[in-house]
Amino acid sequence: MRFMLLFSRQGKLRLQKWYVPLGDQEKRRLGRELVQTILGRKAKMCSFLEWRDLKVVYKRYASLYFCCAIEEQDNELITLEVIHRYVELLDKYFGSVCELDIIFNFEKAYFILDEFLLGGEAQETSKKSVLKAIEQADQLTSTCYQQASPRITSPTCYEHA
Amino acid sequence: MSPSVRLQEMIRVIRSARTQGEERGVIQRECAAIRAQFRQADNGGRSHNLAKLLYVHMLGYPAHFGQMECVRLIASPRYNEKRVGYLGAMMLLDENQDASLLITNSIKNDLAHSSQYVQSLALCTLACMGSAEMCRDLAPEIDRLLRASSSYIKKKATLCAVHIVRKVPELGELFTPAARALLAEKNHGVLHGAVILITELCERNAQTLVQFREAVPELVHIMRGLVTSGYSPEHTVAGISDPFLQVRILRLLRILGRNNDTASDAMNDLLAQVATNTDSSKTAGSAVLYETVLTVMDIKSESGLRVLAVNILGRFLLNNDRNIRYISMTSLQKIVSTDHNAVQRHRGTIVDCLKDQDASVKRRALELSLALVSAINIRSMMKELLLFLSTCPPELKSHAASGIFNAAERYSPSQRWHIDTILHVLITAGADVRDETVPNLIQLITNASQLHCYTVHKLYRALVADISQQPLVQVACWCIGEYGDSLLQGDCEETEPIQVTEDDILDALETVLQSHMSSPATRGFALTATMKLSTRITENVDRIRSIVSIYGSCMDVELQQRAVEYNALFKKYDHMRAAVLEKMPVMDRSSMGQTNGESGGGGVQELEPTKPKQPEMMVAPQPASQVCDLLDLLSDPEEPSLPGGPLGPGGAPLGPAGLMSGSAGGDLLYLLGGLELTPTPTPATAPAAVTVYDKSGVVLKLSCERPLDASQTITLTATNTSDHDVSSLTLQAAVPKNVQLQMKAPSGDSLPARSSAVVTQTVLLNNPNKVSLKMRVRLSYTTS
């Protein structure tokens, strides 16, 4: 995989993971143009498109578009499965995930992605194992916080903006 | 207050900003605060400040000042700070930034950390943004971790190794032994990574590929286990056992089996099993089937398996899911050249997909349709393609137009059809055709002399209807200029009669000249056409003269020059005018590297004056460029023994000498003509002699005399330059049913060794029905 983008229906980027070395400007430009292209597509259209010299696979889940750019030899259908697996992981972690979860906990979304994909390829094909690893890492993190400051951190709720 | 709340608080504040300006203000304040915090000593909130900065960065604001903070956090002993630091490094740093080198040492230390979660962070970051430098530095560490005891670390190290191999291919050798050992792992994550690593290694190094071919049985075993195993809650997706791993293994098998019979044989059964047992009702199953089909088509598989694979693709083509249809067409595109007939069976469905709403599907269907056009289906396919052209999205128009032209050139059944098709394209998509279309069409029209009347009528009608499509207007002007007299005659048997006066024609040309839609080149065409008409029409020569003189002061330099010269032609050189403006002779396209095939008897006489050496014998009216014909010949699917090129003089034995089918065009004698006209010259003495048999010194040549239409005389000549006597020489010949064969007596039946003696035998052929001619020759003799 070359990169993965998550963006809203208004074109706002919610997550971007780049596996190829590109400059900041170029990433922004590429991202913007690809987002516009995908948002311009109609509802029932094919999930695959050839854009510039890339193969792009995208799928919409509620108000979020999940979009991956893959290599020439990669299997498009299995990429759809990869996207679906990531959504399932988010769903399990956040409990019925919605876009707001990803906005307010973007770093956690990244951590989950990094536990599922490494260097652009799937590292673990078992959902259970990924979630367990995240859980352990989270525990480690909260232990660190407790050591730093004895007050317990609790999840807060966030209002609709 | 909990640090995390401060991050979420900031996010909330930013989101509540009502305008872009307000947002910018909020962010500037936050960034200033963050910068200040960074400058301070460790205050326990560093990770959260960096997280805030990363959020701001994701919104699109600059965050360069966070790079050093990333480096510092990565070096921190606390896990939570490392975690955010590495995340920041992956987001803010890439290998082009100088700061990325600074984290190399931290990564190195963390790779050896006691906590596997810290190791995991380092591995993840290295695999995401590791530069070639960093990869070289840390490769030995990764190799060590490949042999670690924890699966958790092994699977990550494997993918890290994949990244390293992609960045620095030479390091592949370092990982090969470890990769081999990893195939024995039970853990799916590690196995998945190992298969990817082996795939990368084999793709980049031929020796490694050979080495890993020995692993094929092992891979087949693993795959079989996955396919036949029962439900495993951890790895099953929609009834398929670990489709991710299955797809990866299939891809590796593809690379290992390519061009290798042994390896391909070893996986045949498995592929058949996967192909038949995989349930494709959900995407996971379809993904596995898709990969299987790709593998089957790429390795040396049995024909039965290939048929199974193409059938799977055919099933996909009928699937309701658009994605599956798209995938199916992509795969069919890959195999259309090798398994043409199998794909032809699905032509109907593919053509239907041209009407699909989706642009991606349309594009695929267009490419496939163009690949499937053949002489048999040209008429029906062209109908569909022209219909498509009128409704297709603009980005596909020029591709479709050029595809249609190519197809028409190769397979048009008649010149009139060819011209009609090109005209149709010009009317529908004139703006998107290539530049050479205009001269090509003009040349085509010139060569179809019996169609001049028809063509000029059609073009005139099109011109009057619409002058916006430049290529069409250019061709129309040219034709009217050349053949204006036929237009004036009014009657033409192939189209409705139309009364056109000289004034009408001149009006049309003047409209083109004056219209703002006409390009300068088009105007040039129109002006020249007007001038040519001065010799073709009788009454309005003065009008022409006045038009030409007006343009003598035109702003456009090219037009002005033309007008001035034409004026001079009227004034000083009036005696030469008729000669200069005569009808154009036939043009040949040999200068373009391709000879235009002729169709119909009319074409033959045109071509003869330019090719006096080799008489053209056109028995069956067949089009298509002769160069293409030879290629068709060599790859004619109906004659599987063809590859081996029995064409060249002194080539391999002709064997079953059916050289041409009707679709490829022409006959045996046409072949001789074809030889003559190919760019690689074999200078012929008339009549040309083709060597049809050449083995151990015995040579049999075949030559034909210049024939009349239906009957031909062929002479078979045998010579012997070997060291053995040849005796009891007999020649037998067989021809298709409707052709009559008469063999005259041979001149002899023995050829002494190393002699210049020759045995000849004449064969008379009568081909009253003008079927495509095939001849099978059998030569038998005994040597001493």
Which pLDDT tens digit goes with each residue over B740-769?
A: 888 887 887 787 777 677 888 888 887 777
Provide the edge-to-edge strand list for the sheet that holds A54-61.
Answer: A13-18, A3-8, A64-70, A54-61, A48-51
Torsion sign over Cα B150, B152, B154, B160: negative
Asked if the model's pLDDT at residue B641 lies above 50, the reply is: no
Residues B689-697, mean pLDDT to the nearest whole number: 78
Chain B residue numbers with beta carbons less than 8 Å from the beta carbon of A73 are 251
Q: Å from A95 to nearest chain B CA?
A: 19
Instruction: Please tell me which residue, B302 or B624, carries the higher pLDDT value.
Output: B302
Among A44, A121, A161, the residue with its CB nearest the CB of B15 is: A161
Determine which of B283, B297, B331, B399 to mutate to test the interface with A (most A C-beta atoms within 10 Å): B283
pLDDT over 80 at B646, yes or no: no
The predicted pLDDT at position A93 comes to 96
Residues of chain A with Cβ-Cβ distance to B287 below 8 Å are 75, 77-78, 80-81
pLDDT computed for residue A27 by the predictor: 93
A49, A84, A144 member nearest B80 (Cβ): A144
- Residue B281 and residue B239: Cα distance in Å, rounded? 10
B95 and A28 in contact by Cβ < 8 A?
A: no
**Mean pLDDT of the region A65-72:** 95
Q: Which of A14, A76, A126 sits opposite B189 (nearest CB)?
A: A126
pLDDT of residue B760: 83
Please tell me the distance from the alpha carbon of residue B156 to that of residue B149, in angstroms, as a whole number. 13
Nearest CA to CA, how far is A31 from chain B (Å)? Answer: 11
Q: What is the ipTM of this complex?
A: 0.92
Task: Select from A49, A82, A149 the Cβ nearest to the Cβ of B360.
Answer: A49
- Tell me the percentage of chain B whose pLDDT exceeds 70: 84
Q: What is the pLDDT of residues B235-250, one digit of tens each?
A: 998 889 999 999 999 9
Residues of chain A found within 8 Å of residue B195, distances taken between Cβ atoms: none
- pLDDT bin (cut points 50, 70, 90) of residue A145 is confident
Cα A122 to Cα A55, B191, B192, B244, distances in angstroms? 18, 11, 8, 8
Q: What is the pLDDT of residues B720-737, one digit of tens each?
A: 877 778 787 888 888 887
Lowest mean pLDDT among B188-192, B357-361, B410-414, B642-646: B642-646
Long-range contacts of B294-298 (CB under 8 A, 24+ apart): B294/B250, B294/B251, B294/B254, B294/B331, B294/B334, B295/B250, B295/B251, B295/B253, B295/B254, B295/B257, B295/B267, B295/B271, B296/B271, B297/B331, B297/B334, B297/B335, B297/B338, B297/B339, B298/B254, B298/B257, B298/B258
- Mean pLDDT on B216-244: 90
Lowest-pLDDT choice from B27-41, B277-291, B563-577:
B563-577
At B707, the pLDDT band (50, 70, 90 cuts) reads low
Q: What is the pLDDT of residues B496-521, one digit of tens each?
A: 777 778 888 888 888 888 888 888 88
pLDDT at B344 over 60: yes
B638 vs B439, which has greater pLDDT?
A: B439
Mean pLDDT on B615-634: 38
Give residue-wise pLDDT tens across range A72-116. Answer: 999 999 999 999 999 999 999 999 999 999 999 999 999 999 999
* A10 in contact with B, Cβ within 8 Å: no
In this complex, do A80 and B323 lie within 8 Å of one another by their Cβ atoms?
yes
Which residues between 95 and 134 in chain A have a beta carbon less than 8 angstroms from any beta carbon of chain B? Answer: 103-104, 106-107, 110-111, 114, 118-119, 121-129, 133
Mean pLDDT on B417-432: 84
For tokens 């991956």, the residue is: A68
Indicate the SS3 state at residue B636. Answer: coil
Q: How far apart are CA B364 and CA B368, in angstroms?
A: 6
What count of other Cβ atoms lies within 10 Å of the Cβ of residue A53? 6
Instruction: Assess whether pLDDT exceeds 60 at residue A48.
Output: yes
**pLDDT at position B709:** 56
**Structure confidence at residue A150 (pLDDT):** 55
Contact A80 B115 (CB under 8 A): no
| Residue A54 touches partner B, C-beta closer than 8 Å | no
**In chain B, which residue's Cα lies nearest the Cα of A111?**
B87
Judged by CB atoms closer than 8 Å, whether chains meet at B284 and A104 is answered as no
Q: Which of chain B's residues have a Cβ under 8 Å away from the Cβ of A110?
A: 87
- If you write DSSP's letter for every residue of B217-270 in order, what string do you get? HHHHHHHHHHHH----TTTEETTEE-HHHHHHHHHHHHHHHTT-HHHHHHHHHH
Residue A28: its chain B contacts at CB < 8 A?
60
Report CB contact under 8 Å: B4, A111: no
pLDDT tens track for B570-611? 888 888 887 888 877 777 655 443 334 333 333 333 333 333
pLDDT at position B7 over 80 = yes
Sequence-distant (≥ 6) Cβ neighbours of residue B175 within 8 angstroms: B142, B143, B146, B161, B164, B165, B197, B201
The reported pLDDT for the residue numbered B732 is 82
Place of tokens 């129109």: B526
Contacts of A114 in chain B (CB under 8 A): 87, 124
Compare B432 and B263 and report the one with higher pLDDT: B263
Is the Cβ pair B242, A125 closer than 8 Å? yes
Condensed to tens digits (0 to 9), the pLDDT of residues B92-119 reads: 998 888 888 889 999 999 999 999 999 9
Choice between B44 and A119, residue whose per-residue pLDDT is larger: A119
B9: its two tokens: 């608080």
* Contact yes or no for A23 and B94 at CB 8 A: yes
Q: Sign (positive/negative) of CA torsion B33, B34, B39, B43?
A: positive
Average pLDDT over residues B465-488: 84
Q: Is the pLDDT of residue B88 over 70?
A: yes
